[in-house]
Amino acid sequence: MPAVATQFNGVSVVTKANVYFDGNVVSHTILLPEGSRKTLGLIRPGSFHFNTDAPELMEIVDGTCRVVVDGATEVRVHASGSSFEVPGKSGFRIEVESGLCQYICSFLG
């Protein structure tokens, strides 16, 4: 698996944050030169469910989380440097037990 990016050059940043679950999940959108978009965010301890419109790739930059993709029963643990995909028109539950979990979300569709 390729390493998780540590820097994006030549991007535009949307200054208003995406704030979810009373501020327990916060991200910022970046727009890449070729037209794709990603969000960079952090998740505080707790359990949160997200729905997806387009397929997503979630890359864990720092911390650890447990994830169950909608329709699956297996809980998977993801630590720094790992990733998981979520189909479009689906969703996932993500749980952070302690500390912060930082991520990059790439929209694939």
**3 band by pLDDT with thresholds 50, 70 and 90:** confident
89 domain residue, yes or no: yes
Containing domain of residue 82, as a range?
13-107
Report the CATH number that the domain containing residue 101 is assigned in CATH: 2.60.120.10
DSSP per-residue codes, 51-104: EESS-EEEEEEESEEEEEETT----EEEETT-EEEE-TTEEEEEEE-SS-EEEE
25 domain residue, yes or no: yes
Q: What is the pLDDT of residues 14-42, one digit of tens each?
A: 999 999 999 999 999 999 999 999 999 99
- The structure tokens listed for 12 are 């535009």
Asked if 30 and 13 touch (Cβ cutoff 8 Å), the reply is yes
Count of domains observed in the chain: 1
Q: What is the pLDDT of residues 42-51, one digit of tens each?
A: 999 999 999 9
81 domain residue, yes or no: yes
5 domain residue, yes or no: no
